Amino acid sequence: MDSTSSSASLIIPSFRCFDATNHRRYYSTLPSCSPTPQGAGGGSASIHVMGNSTTIADPKIITGDCGYLLDDVPHLSDYIQDLPTYSNPLQDNPAYSVVKQYFVDVDDTVAEKIVVSKESPRGNHFRRAGPRQKVYFESDEVHACIVTCGGLCPGLNTVIREIVCGLYHMYGVTGVLGIEGGYKGFYARNTIPLTPKVVNDIHKRGGTILGTSRGGHDTSKIVDSIQDRGINQVYIIGGDGTQKGASVIFEEIRRRGLKVAVVGIPKTIDNDILVIDKSFGFDTAVEEAQRAISAAHVESESIENGIGLVKLMGRHSGFIAMYATLASRDVDCCLIPESPFYLEGPGGLFEYIEKRLNENGHMVIVVAEGAGQELLSGNTCTMDNIDASGNKQLQDVGFWISQKIKDHFSKKQKLTINLKYIDPTYMICAVPSNASDNVYCTLLAHSAIHGAMAGYTGFTVGPVNGKHSCIPFQRITERQNKVVITDRMWARCLSSTNQPSFFSPKQPFEKIGDEKHGDNHVEDLAIK
């Protein structure tokens, strides 16, 4: 294969530093020069080691005219000098060689914000995902591994399948291992050899063939295992906590100077990952939620004063509840974590339930699992327990609110209710992904593969305004994506249910602060 020498000589005109201690960003300006032909460079960011911990290195920010900022991702050549490059084998692949302009231009970027005013600066951009003309790995030297962490989500097996098949069919890679049981599987369990034949039908099944777990993150042991096994591409599938762990693994790998690409594929059924349009499994979850809502509707309208109560996923973000409500049109009330509510008194939930029952004789309530937790904390004995992933364990708002409703109306002798409580959480998490998510998972897997082969590392992949991009880990782990209750999508939901807002018009702005300008990319997709 064609082999040329490439070194990272780019000096970033302006870069943004990250203080891991107090999470502050500040800008520093350096002399400018032109990017390297590979577009991979970017002044080598320093690694700070304190004891056994590795702090987050400085992000790569490249500036341009008119307020242009490229939030770039790390590259192997940032810390390993004189890496050879090779011609991309896709140019000889009969399936891809006929596609004109298949390779992504090194200067292609994707805008984070597409709705701007006439005088707005160009703003933040991300490097566009896709195959490059030159790669930094020869096919026969690649030893890749895949790990799934956290809870189950529709589409996990599809992503695994497409990483294996994509590496094999596009780049001729035959050495792929599956790490069993999440992060702890790197040092506590066996691996599974993965081939296209092994993964051929797994997309038709729910769950993950690799198994999963929460916690178990021991950075030194994980990187030791990666180094000992000769692994040089690591594909990590998981939510924001998993991606934080992937970031730490990448930093340790960079500190050791290893030629190992670390790539994250963001997974969360709640759709609470920042920057990207939506997470895989979300479409399937909304579709499956319709079954539970439909059953609740049938139950409620088949009996006098029937109430169907459905609890859906959404620890901190109510996207599934909101979109399932909008899709169903059978829901009379939707309760999400971002929108506070109260039970008793004028304008409260009990008053609204009584009104709907008097009008229609039945009603359906959808509640996200993280809604109303502040009410439960004030009425029940709580324990501030956290799970192995560091998430605070929530109380069962569905069971709690169903009991509150029953207790309230049992005191009203003139109005007897019949309430049915449905919790389909684990049924939804365990189903195979639908057609839409299957296609999406394929694109995610391919974007991850192309980025790793091109030498990029320390990044995650996902669509930004419809275009798949390479996103630095720190951008998606800053905070969680939430429903912005001052946006039009939540207004559409309220209009669909005809429920009261349960708070004064000024309260949302006081409650969410800067999040009123949040990253609700799913709304953008719905509007298009």
* 374's tokens: 């502040």
Bridge partner residues of 312 (DSSP): 368
Query: Any idea what DSSP says for residue 185?
Result: H
Is 288 annotated as belonging to a binding site? no
Gap between the Cα atoms of 227 and 246, Å rounded: 15
Bridge partner residues of 135 (DSSP): 86
∠ CA(272), CA(223), CA(196), 5° rounding?
70
Is 245 annotated as belonging to a binding site? no
Gap between the Cα atoms of 305 and 528, Å rounded: 39
> For the chain, first and last CA: distance in Å?
44
> SS3 sequence, 68-132?
EEEEECCEHHHCCCCEEEEECHHHHCCCCCCCCCCCCCCCCEEECCCCCCCCCCCEEEEEECCCC
∠ CA(441), CA(276), CA(126), 5° rounding?
110
Which residue of the set 270, 330, 437, 519 is catalytic? Answer: 270
Active site residue 514: no
Is 189 annotated as belonging to a binding site? no
Amino acid 227 reads Q
Is 241 annotated as belonging to a binding site? yes
Is 314 annotated as belonging to a binding site? yes
Is 130 annotated as belonging to a binding site? no
Are 170 and 452 in contact, with CB atoms under 8 Å apart?
Answer: no
Half-sphere exposure of 509 (CA within 13 A, CB side): 3
Is 254 annotated as belonging to a binding site? no
Is 398 annotated as belonging to a binding site? no
Is 374 annotated as belonging to a binding site? no
Residue-wise over 290-321: b if at least 16 C-beta within 10 A, else e?
eebbebbbebbeeeebbbbbbbbbbbbbbbbb
Is 151 annotated as belonging to a binding site? yes
Gap between the Cα atoms of 489 and 482, Å rounded: 12
Is 369 annotated as belonging to a binding site? yes
Other CB atoms within 10 Å distance of the CB of residue 256: 15
Is 215 annotated as belonging to a binding site? yes
Binding residues: 151, 214-215, 239-242, 268-270, 313-315, 369
**Binding residue numbers for Mg(2+):** 240
Q: Which residues are catalytic?
A: 270
Which residues sit in the known binding site for ATP?
151, 214-215, 239-242
Task: Extract the annotated binding site for substrate.
Answer: 268-270, 313-315, 369
